[in-house]
């Protein structure tokens, strides 16, 4: 899988951002281990709290279609500065992927950086912690 294809997906879905409150458009493209990719945008709400980030929109689309494990995810927010996934989205990525998941933080198809989940969310709290506690 080319990073560029995932970034293109994020850029396409960014155009669908529903963000009348922040005016901050975000798009994401997520690659699952099946080889399929899904896109998503941020979706805001007048009550603010129900707002869903682009990354989670894309992930939940995939999971609800039967996908199970994430391989890589691209995110495009600002086109001027790199926009990293928020803490909540990092936690959600970690539910469906290990520390090797690649996180592509892009401004454009040509301008991006690649981080691993291990770099941006070390020491993750996972279901293993819950299982250990119940022993
Ligand atoms: N946002 C995302 O979609 N992804 C992130 O990782 C950071 C924040 C959205 C949520 C909200 O609609 C807007 O950006 C401003 O916070």
Domain count, the chain: 1
Global pTM value: 0.96
Q: Ligand 1 within 6 A of 10 CB?
A: no
Query: What is the torsion angle, in degrees rounded to the nearest 10, for the CA atoms of residue 121, residue 102, residue 42 and residue 94?
Result: -40
Angstrom distance (rounded) from CA 43 to CA 20: 9
Split at pLDDT 50, 70, 90, the class of 1 is low
Q: How many CB atoms lie within 10 A of CB 86?
A: 15
* Helix 54-64 and helix 87-95, axial crossing angle in degrees, nearest 10: 20
Q: The domain containing residue 52 runs over which residues?
A: 3-133
Angstrom distance (rounded) from CA 11 to CA 7: 6
Q: Ligand 1 within 6 A of 116 CB?
A: no
Active site residue 80: no
Gyration radius (Cα) of the chain, Å? 15
- CATH code for the domain of 86: 3.40.140.10
| Residue 57 Cα: closest atom of ligand 1 | 3
pLDDT at residue 3 above 80? yes
Dump pLDDT digits (tens) for 17-30. 999 999 999 999 99
């Amino acid at each position: 899988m080319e990073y560029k294809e995932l970034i293109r997906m994020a850029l396409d879905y960014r155009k669908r951002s529903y963000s009348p409150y922040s005016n901050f458009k975000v798009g994401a493209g997520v690659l699952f281990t099946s080889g399929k990719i899904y896109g998503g945008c941020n979706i805001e709400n007048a009550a603010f709290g129900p707002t869903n980030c682009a990354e989670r929109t894309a992930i939940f689309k995939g999971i609800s279609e039967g996908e199970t494990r994430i391989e890589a995810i691209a995110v495009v927010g600002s086109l001027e500065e790199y926009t990293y996934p928020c803490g909540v989205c990092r936690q959600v990525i970690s539910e469906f992927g290990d520390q090797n998941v690649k996180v592509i933080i892009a401004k454009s198809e040509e301008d991006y950086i690649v981080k691993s989940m291990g770099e941006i969310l070390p020491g993750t709290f996972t279901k293993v912690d819950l299982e250990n506690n119940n022993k």
